[in-house]
Amino acid sequence: MSFEFSKKLTAHETPIPGVVLYDLPVHGDNRGWFKENWQRDKMVALGLPDFRPVQNNISFNEKAGTTRGIHAEPWDKFISVATGRIFGAWVDLREGPSFGTVFSAELDPSQAIFIPRGVGNAFQTLEDNTAYTYLVNDHWSADAQGQYTFLNLADESAAIAWPVPLDRAELSDKDKAHPRLADVVPMPPKKILVVGADGQLGKALRKIYDGDNSVEFAGRSGFDLGSEAAFTSKNWKNYSTIINAAAYTAVDTAESAEGRTSAWAVNVTAAARLARTAVEHDLVLVHISSDYVFDGTRDIHAEDEPLSPLGVYGQTKAAGDAVVSVVPRHYIVRTSWVIGDGSNFVRTMASLADRGIEPSVVNDQIGRLSFTQDIAAGIRHLLESGAPFGTYNLSNEGEPQSWADVAGDVYELVTGSRDAVTGVSAEEYFKDKVAAPRPATSTLALDKLRDSGFTPAPAAERLSDYLNQRTKP
């Protein structure tokens, strides 16, 4: 056997997205050779996905010319040659613009290739006694075979230049019967599951992902976060991401005995179930946080500020953040003063303005509005851009305002005058009322989000659009 010893570990991109060919260092002497076929730290540092392999398979092939494939399985594979030499061919059989793209190469023990889920794999042995190895990140099962996608080795559109013509090669009858590319049903991508999909943010996510069949939406009736059965009924191997848009947000009611129980159940216990699921199945978990995790004593809150919640609602959101932060692949999206399709402060103020009511509104709590269309767009950006995992503040841009300032803007846009709004202190407004403590300052620093490549729209622009689109009485 002859191949190059002591090559540097190197990655080579291919025409198929996600398929990467690697040169492996092989060390040899008069006794033979040795290589690190899979070395997680070095390979992940080089860009190989940390795909958490669980099974190692070996295909031994007695004769040169043995040809197998083209099989696309519902898992990722790290493929190498243990002994011998092969001609490998890979065809993208996933839904999308790269469907049908072909890549081929000769591989010996000094090379390996990473093949993502849904990319068809085939090889032809070039030497007798060749062993072909697969490191995969899911356990093989008979049930999984129903999710395979196949392509005929002789497909004319792929036009693979087999070194040994197929009419002289060793093929199985099954491989000979696989369909041509025109008849292949592409393998769909893994799904994104949005839970809590009937709330304000859930509705915005439905809108931004409208028409995307890879995104599945579940409201309370479709996925009960309080039911263990809801979690065990899902085949999580078919999902890549969970977006948790569910939350208990009745800030004042959370201070009651019943409300406290409900707030902890939704904001903490359910979040813990989602976190456990994400860890067990290597999913991305997107979780929505709140300015209420802070006590509001700082003028502006960065992502790394220690949590310091005041009331029960804030405590449950902080606990949920802590739980989700242990998920290796997570985005905690921290928002403030959320406005969307549903009951909210802006809608209430607009209704009061329509009826000519002159409200007293708190003028010593400061922050920024967060419109759900921008939260949804920010979440999609983080997922699609591959931004580093972690916590991101996400509100709209603009100068921080008080609630009274926002109310004045609403009245001015609805009636042409802001004079009907009277500012009062939080202490005066909540006097003799059962109310949760609130952070005096809720302004979130947005630098980290901007650095990721996403800048939300100005709050004033979104407010004007929002009021123009509302249904007036």
Side by side, which strands form the sheet with 102-107? Answer: 102-107, 86-92, 119-125, 67-72, 149-150
CATH code, 40: 2.60.120.10
Question: Quick one: pLDDT at residue 6?
Answer: 73
Instruction: Give the global pTM.
Output: 0.88
For residue 221, pLDDT over 70 is answered with: yes
Domain membership of residue 285 (yes or no) is yes
Domain membership of residue 1 (yes or no) is no
Domain range for 80 is 10-183
Domain membership of residue 3 (yes or no) is no
Given pLDDT bands bounded at 50, 70 and 90, which one contains residue 472? low
Question: Quick one: pLDDT at residue 146?
Answer: 64
For residue 95, pLDDT over 90 is answered with: yes
Given pLDDT bands bounded at 50, 70 and 90, which one contains residue 87? very high
Average pLDDT for the chain: 94
Task: Identify the domain boundary among 127, 152, 183.
Answer: 183
Q: What is the CB-side half-sphere exposure of residue 354 using CA atoms within 13 A?
A: 11
Q: Which tokens is 122 given? A: 């085939």
Q: How many residues does the chain have?
A: 473
Domain membership of residue 324 (yes or no) is yes
Residues 48 and 156 reside in one and the same domain: yes
Per residue, what are the HEC states of the chain?
A: CCCCCCCCCEEEECCCCCCEEEECCEEEECCEEEECCCCHHHHHHCCCCCCCCCEEEEEEECCCCEEEEEEECCCCEEEEEEECCEEEEEEECECCCCCCCEEEEEECCCEEEEECCCEEEEEEECCCCEEEEEEECCCCCCHHHHHCEECCCCCCCCCCCCCCCHHHCECCHHHHCCCCHHHCCCECCCEEEEECCCCHHHHHHHHHCCCCCCEEEECCCCCCCCCHHHHHCCCHHHEEEEEECCCCCCCCHHHCHHHHHHHHHHHHHHHHHHHHHHHHHCCEEEEEEEHHHCCCCCCCECCCCCCCCCCHHHHHHHHHHHHHCCCCCEEEEEECCEECCCCCHHHHHHHHHHCCCCCEEECCCEECCEEHHHHHHHHHHHHHHCCCCEEEECCCECCCEEHHHHHHHHHHHHHCCCCCCEEECHHHHCCCCCCCCCCCECCECCHHHHHCCCCCCEHHHHHHHHHHHCCCC
Domain count of the fold of the chain: 2
By the 10 Å C-beta count (0-12 exposed, 13-18 middle, 19+ buried), 457 is classed as middle
For residue 407, pLDDT over 90 is answered with: yes
Residues 79 and 52 reside in one and the same domain: yes
Question: Quick one: pLDDT at residue 317?
Answer: 98
For residue 427, pLDDT over 90 is answered with: yes
Domain membership of residue 227 (yes or no) is yes
Question: Quick one: pLDDT at residue 145?
Answer: 62
Active-site annotation, residues:
71, 134
Residues 114 and 211 reside in one and the same domain: no
CATH code, 409: 3.40.50.720
Encode pLDDT of 283-298 as tens digits: 999 999 999 999 999 9
Question: Quick one: pLDDT at residue 303?
Answer: 97
* Alpha carbons 408 and 419: distance in angstroms, whole number: 7
Residues 357 and 454 reside in one and the same domain: yes
Encode pLDDT of 121-138 as tens digits: 999 999 999 999 999 998
Question: Quick one: pLDDT at residue 471?
Answer: 65
CB distance 316 to 178 below 8 Å: no
pLDDT, mean of residues 403-432? 95
Q: What is the CB-side half-sphere exposure of residue 162 using CA atoms within 13 A?
A: 25
pLDDT, mean of residues 212-234? 91
For residue 473, pLDDT over 60 is answered with: no
Domain membership of residue 4 (yes or no) is no
Question: Quick one: pLDDT at residue 105?
Answer: 97
Question: Quick one: pLDDT at residue 437?
Answer: 94
Given pLDDT bands bounded at 50, 70 and 90, which one contains residue 2? low
Question: Quick one: pLDDT at residue 451?
Answer: 97
Residues 43 and 133 reside in one and the same domain: yes
For residue 1, pLDDT over 60 is answered with: no
Question: Quick one: pLDDT at residue 184?
Answer: 96
Domain membership of residue 2 (yes or no) is no
* Alpha carbons 352 and 359: distance in angstroms, whole number: 8
Residues 47 and 131 reside in one and the same domain: yes
Domain membership of residue 371 (yes or no) is yes
pLDDT, mean of residues 403-426? 96
* Alpha carbons 221 and 461: distance in angstroms, whole number: 35
Does 357 sit behind a cis peptide bond, omega within 30 degrees of 0 on the bond before it?
no
